[in-house]
Amino acid sequence: MHNTEVLETLLQPEELQPAVELLNKTLAELDRILLGRSELHRLVLAGILSRGHILLEGLPGVGKTALVKALGELFQLQFKRVQFTPDLMPSDILGAHILQQEADGRRGLEFHPGPVFTNLLLADEINRASPKTQSALLEAMQEHAVTLLGQTRPLPDPFFVLASQNPIELEGTYPLPEAQLDRFLFKLIVSSADVETMEQIITTRRRGEPPMTVFNVSSEQLQKMFDVMERIYLPRAVSRYIARLVAATHAAGAEATDEVRSYVSYGASPRAAIAIAEAARAMALLAGRPTVGFEDVKAVAAHVLNHRLVLNYKARFDGVDALTVIRGLLARLDETELKLPRDLEIVEAK
């Protein structure tokens, strides 16, 4: 029996600091390019650091596409945009084999990669494509690879899908199936800008065009950030909190709230727990910490879970959305799982 303990050493400040400074600069640059979206930028950056795909939902003209384009420029990543339409075919995204005659006169099928072979794919109005075309992205998003005619081709690393969808004009659209929704790390609601922001935009931006980037993140720098992300420590208590939180989204969960029991048909999957953990790590890194705290989990939980809960008809009748259910769950679930005897309670430290 060994009496010695083997412990992991946390990322030390001098190791963490360069990545944090880089991230702060990136955030500042994003904030400079797109005005009034600081929180959205943090979440998008957290999604990038988590190597997750992001679904942006918002009305036309709120800056969804501009944000993705700015990200592409900022990270000096290969960026492609696909405008999803009902007649878009899978091969329009994944690529196709085309019969070619070679120099020696022989004919063969030559693969022409589609726009998915990129680092950053903007799937604009993804819900306008047919389910067949939407499904073509499933393997690409999960496996970071494309299989055609029995041959699997890896996608460039890193690979992100940033999709956008319009919550109105639902006629002629195909809502994303649960399986595809589950592959998105975040579903971020892009709201309209406030008066001050709009005033600033029209004052400082000619025709609304964003300024050119003056700062870029190289692929090496991005890789370093990913390496740092790998070493962000997730304490066991936080892991357990994430697991309890996800379990509580199921109506049969031991800690499910009354709202969950009343309104949720299907709760979140284990993939959601993994997503929360990764996103919380990214938030901790953005905050300049080597460890994940409960507040990091709370910051990302709603964005990870809101598109993963399947609500029942009663929720629609009562006007209850997923975010309301999640907020209630976050408010009621005790992070520490400290069970005190009756009449005994903790008074928050001043």
Partner 1 sequence: MLDAPIPKREKQAMISSSPDRAIRSFMRRLTGLITLKYALSFLTLWSFGWGIAALVWRVTAGLPRWWLWVGIVGALLAVGLAVVLAQRRRPTRATVSALLDQQSHCGGLLMASGEARLGEWRDRMPEPRLPRLRWRAARAWALLAASAVFVIVSLVAPVRWASMNAGRTLDVGSEAQKLAAEIEMLKEEKLLSVSQAETLEQKLDQVKAEAEGTDPAKTWEALDHLSGALDRAAKEAAENAAAKAERLKQAEALAEGLQTGASAMSPQLTTEAMQTLAEMMKKAAEENQSLAQNLSAETQAAMKSGSFTPEQLKEMAKALKQNKAALNAQLSKLNQAGMIDGKNFKSGGQADNAGLAQFLKENANKMSVSDAVGQWCEGGKGGVDRGRGDAAMTWTDGSSEKGAKFKEQVLSPAALAGLSESQLLGLSAGAPTVGQNKTVSAGALNTAAPGGGSAYTQTILPRHKGAVKRYFDRPQGK
Structure-token match 């412990």, residue found: 7
Residue type, 82: V
Beta carbon nearer to partner 1, 191 or 336: 336
* Interface of this chain with partner 1, residues 194 to 253, rule: CB under 8 A: 231, 233-238
Element (H, E) at 173: none
346 is a contact residue toward partner 1 (CB under 8 A): yes
Beta carbon nearer to partner 1, 144 or 224: 224
CB-CB contact of 225 with 23 (8 Å): yes
Would you call 189 helix, strand, or coil by DSSP? strand
Give, as one character, the DSSP assignment of residue 157. Answer: S
10 is a contact residue toward partner 1 (CB under 8 A): yes
327 is a contact residue toward partner 1 (CB under 8 A): no
Least distance (Å) from partner 1 to the CB of residue 268?
22
Contacting residue, 148, 189, 287, 310, with partner 1 by CB under 8 A: 287
**What would the two tokens of residue 214 be?**
């003056």
Contacting residue, 12, 83, 152, 218, with partner 1 by CB under 8 A: 12
Could you give the count of Cα atoms lying within 13 Å of 3 in the half-sphere of its Cβ?
Answer: 0
9 is a contact residue toward partner 1 (CB under 8 A): yes
Total residues contacting partner 1 by CB under 8 A comes to 42
CB-CB contact of 51 with 94 (8 Å): no
Strands (E), 126-263: 145-148, 151-154, 160-165, 184-190
CB-CB contact of 311 with 264 (8 Å): yes
Query: Is residue 341 reached through a cis peptide bond, with omega within 30 degrees of 0 on the bond before it?
Result: no
* Cα angle for residues 7, 8, 10 (degrees, 5° grid): 135
Contacting residue, 201, 290, 321, 327, with partner 1 by CB under 8 A: 290
Contacting residue, 1, 5, 203, 313, with partner 1 by CB under 8 A: 5
Contacting residue, 29, 182, 278, 296, with partner 1 by CB under 8 A: 296
Least distance (Å) from partner 1 to the CB of residue 271?
23
338 is a contact residue toward partner 1 (CB under 8 A): yes
Interface residue list for partner 1 (CB under 8 A): 4-10, 12-14, 231, 233-238, 284, 287, 289-296, 335-341, 343-350
